[in-house]
Amino acid sequence: MNIQTDGKSQDWGPFGRPIFDDPSARALSRVGVIDIGSNSVRMVVFDGAARSPAYFYNEKIMCALGAGVSETGRLNPEGRRRALAAIKRFKLLAEGMDLPPLTAVATAAVRDAEDGADFREEVLRETGLRIWVVGGEEEARLSAQGVLLGWPGSYGLVCDIGGSSMELAEIRNGRVGRRVSSSLGPLKLRAIKGGKSGRKAHIKAEMEELARRLGPQRDRLFLVGGSWRAIARIDMERRGYPLHVLHEYRMTATSVAETAKFIAGADLEALRVACGISDARMVLVPYAIEVLKRLVRTFKPKDIALSSYGIREGMLYEQMPQSLRDRDPLIEACRFAEAKDARLPGFGKTLYNFVMPLFRSAPPARKRLIKAACLLHDVSWRAHPDYRAETCFDNATRANLGGLKHSERVFLGLALLHRYRNNRNGTRFEDLYDLLSPEGQKQAEILGKAMRFGAMFWMQPGTPMGEFRWFPQKKRLELRIPEAALPLYGEVAQARLMSLAASLQAEVTVRTLRG
């Protein structure tokens, strides 16, 4: 494997220098946020690679703080009691984790209630925490920034639904544009007079006003918020979808309409249990699906993507300098994992250089996945050898990684599975393979077997280790090995090379480089 010596390679080549080596990133290494919503109160502690959110701690308590605010003008008394108890717990946990001061934000319920200021004063008096109340448009901006954390440079319309409000923000070229806030939260919709027909007319009128203010939004629709996630779980259940990862789950206008009918005809309690949705969340689903149907009908997005990142991740994004925002969250997370868990940190870049001759014509999106796989190729070495391949697949497909479509998760998982195992048949994940095209499955197999072979040449960075030359038209694979590395090319290495050649349907030539 060749180690390039030009200036670009010395500057980490295609990876860029890892941001967690940067002092500005280390300052973000552990950040705690309390999000006081209308329906839930949550504490998230981010840790690790600052560009990609690693959840050191994540706890949510359903408080329904905003229940009844539309009728009474005041926070729900029981919800207020539960929210204060949750915040006290979170403050004590943060002290036990030796965190920097927590950031606490509150949204529509505290913003709208006449006793919202009194609640903030009570929290300050009881815990010492100051609550930052964000306005509707500011909430929209932060949620949109959370989406940008996972999808740098993305474009479309971000819709964040809470208990008492719904926010919309447009994103273009990595920037947040126009943004609006509305009262279309499920807790408020329950108080609309006139039953279902009254709600339908109210939602339609509100949505038309939002469309007038925002203008046409025909790109991707990003959905943020617990009610949207609950609907996505139900959509998965209806479809029998095999990968239960909400982030980057895709829906269409047709699937939204079909899921609305599915919900209307279902036993909600049985559906709640089947989908693992809480009681407090499930009671809001029938209202939220009415909003989503009208949202899709009004804005006619080209596709719909779920985002697990929202206002809390947007606050993390807020603290990053632009140089960190511009980095790829997937590659940063994989670099961090390699530095933390691999036996020979830094070998992932060497391995990437070695396998790339097999993928010269791959598009940039595929090369990005190859980088990620090479960085992760050795991070699961502690797993039992009999289960290592499946552990790799499970980690790749279900890990909290940003910027990965579900098909890309399967590609990454299959590549890492083949890093430790020639045959992918007979695993408990076979129902997931078809989320990736047959050609994609074959390319993942080739990558995994190339990494499996390359891992046999495990030497210190900077040592000449050989190179591949691939002639796809002639179906000929040439391996060039420096004489000093020849002892590494033993029986096991030879068998792995033959397995790679079989997947490529290629003939192999091995040449020794003298001197």
Q: Which of 84, 102, 133 is the last residue of a domain?
A: 133
How far apart, in whole angstroms, are the C-alpha atoms of residue 509 and residue 512?
10
* The predicted structure's pLDDT at residue 383: 94
Q: Is residue 498 part of a domain?
A: no
Q: Is residue 475 part of a domain?
A: no
Element (H, E) at 62: strand 54-62
Q: What is the pTM of this model?
A: 0.89
Q: Which of 313, 345, 377 is the last residue of a domain?
A: 313
Q: Is residue 420 part of a domain?
A: yes
CATH number of the CATH domain containing 408:
1.10.3210.10
Domains in the chain, number = 3
Beta bridge partner(s), residue 35: 42, 105
Write out pLDDT tens, residues 393-406: 999 999 888 889 99
Domain that holds residue 292: 137-313
Q: Is residue 399 part of a domain?
A: yes
| Same domain as 344, residue 271 | no
| Same domain as 277, residue 164 | yes
Q: Is residue 492 part of a domain?
A: no
**For the chain, how big is the Rg over CA atoms in Å?**
26
* The predicted structure's pLDDT at residue 29: 67
How far apart, in whole angstroms, are the C-alpha atoms of residue 410 and residue 156?
25
* The predicted structure's pLDDT at residue 25: 57
Q: Is residue 487 part of a domain?
A: no
* The predicted structure's pLDDT at residue 49: 53
Percent of the chain with pLDDT over 70: 92
Q: Is residue 483 part of a domain?
A: no
Element (H, E) at 103: strand 103-106
Please name which of 104, 100, 24, 87 lies closest in space to residue 56, comparing C-alpha atoms: 100
Q: Is residue 298 part of a domain?
A: yes
How far apart, in whole angstroms, are the C-alpha atoms of residue 156 and residue 107?
23
Helix ranges, 399-490 (H): 406-420, 438-454
Given a contact cutoff of 8 angstroms between Cβ atoms, the answer to whether 351 and 344 are in contact is: no
Pairing state between β 220-224 and 156-161: parallel
| Same domain as 159, residue 127 | no
Write out pLDDT tens, residues 154-210: 899 999 999 999 999 999 988 999 999 999 999 999 989 999 999 999 999 999 999
Which stretches of the chain score pLDDT less than 70? 1-29, 48-50, 459-463, 515
CATH number of the CATH domain containing 207:
3.30.420.150
Given a contact cutoff of 8 angstroms between Cβ atoms, the answer to whether 116 and 75 are in contact is: yes
